[in-house]
Amino acid sequence: MRSLKQTCLGGIAVALLLAAAADAGVVDKKAALGGFDGFVERMGAGTRELGRGNTGTADTASMPAAYWNPAILGFREHFSYTLNAEHRDLDRMGGSLGLETPVGKRMGVGFAMLYRGDLDFEVIDEDDQTLGTASPFFSMLYLGFAYRATRRDAFGLAFSMSYDNMDVSEYYENIELVDGYTSPVTLNLSWLRQWNRNWSSSVVIRNISFSKNLSARWSKNTSTDNSVISTEGVRPKVLQVGLGYRSNIMGKPVYAWMEAIDYQVADTLLVFDPQLHVWTGRVGFECEVIPDGTVRIGMDDLDAMLGLGYKFRIRIGKKKYLFDVNYALTYESSADLWNPLSFGLRGYIP
């Protein structure tokens, strides 16, 4: 009986992993892109950035900066905040929170939390009977720091850690299951340069651990009595290169953003075998079509996005408060799913 339950639990884990991979629009070797943790990261962290193809590393206005590119924090001039929430098809939900502030004239610090979850995931036993529903969720925390070395260059680093909870232990009384797992701390390194008023570029290296291979892998003990085989948590090393361009067309501000991303799925320091790398790209455009009103479009791999945003300016006494409200529509082409419910609020306090 116990072996049957182990098999069932293994099936649950595999099903969740495949669902996470499908959500990211990846198959075969792409399914190795970090399991649950990769699923959290690839859904993005900001509605504004999501609406333009999930691009944000080369833009000093991207938030939360601790996630997108901690070097952005070196350009902060005010205490800033962002709050995002979304509900996707298949009863998936998520959101993010970001808080950041300058420290002196050249430094900045920021915090970010990403959250993803399933609202109604069926738990099935060895007899294919539905035991009930679970609400597994996954979150990642980032603490970022930046130093602006020159007027145009900033360097950043962020410490990150993940937590996931399967929410299935209550259905297996004869096995001492563990629902929650916490990953080791990993490191993200970054650089951002504003070349001139038109061009900017960025480089972000994600998911560097403190192991000998610098690989973010760790064991997840599924049960306290070792009755269920342990699983493995993993986040691949990621190299993300971004490019931004700003201009005016017919008097309207227009922006273009491009990113190339390389996921190394091998548990080694560095490997040049193309079979152990996954490459993808993102592109986005936005235009301020009316004063303070912006329209965005973009592509994240083969997924299409449309975004809208509007800035509000409120004066209280002598202080002016600026915040903007954003919306994003996502089409996941691999699963033919439309996701129309992504909203975000961001602003700063002078």
pLDDT, tens digit, for every residue of 285-301? 999 999 999 999 999 99
Q: Give the residue numbers spanning the domain of 29.
A: 2-349
> Residue 91 belongs to a domain with what CATH number?
2.40.160.40
User: What pLDDT sits at residue 42?
Assistant: 66
User: For the chain, what is the radius of gyration of the CA atoms?
Assistant: 21
Residue 280: pLDDT over 80: yes
Residue 81: pLDDT over 80: yes
% of the chain at pLDDT higher than 90: 52
Q: What is the rounded average pLDDT for all residues in the chain?
A: 84
Entry pTM:
0.85
Structural domain count, the chain? 1
Average pLDDT score over residue span 255-272: 90
SS3 281: strand
pLDDT, tens digit, for every residue of 111-161? 999 999 888 777 777 777 777 788 888 899 999 999 999 999 999 999 999
pLDDT, tens digit, for every residue of 212-238? 888 887 777 676 666 667 777 778 899
pLDDT, tens digit, for every residue of 8-22? 333 333 333 333 333
175 CB neighbour count, 10 Å cutoff: 17
pLDDT, tens digit, for every residue of 176-185? 777 778 888 9
SS3 90: coil
Beta strands in the chain (DSSP E): 79-88, 92-103, 107-118, 121-124, 130-134, 137-148, 153-165, 180-182, 186-194, 199-208, 216-220, 231-235, 237-249, 252-264, 277-290, 293-300, 303-316, 319-332, 337-349
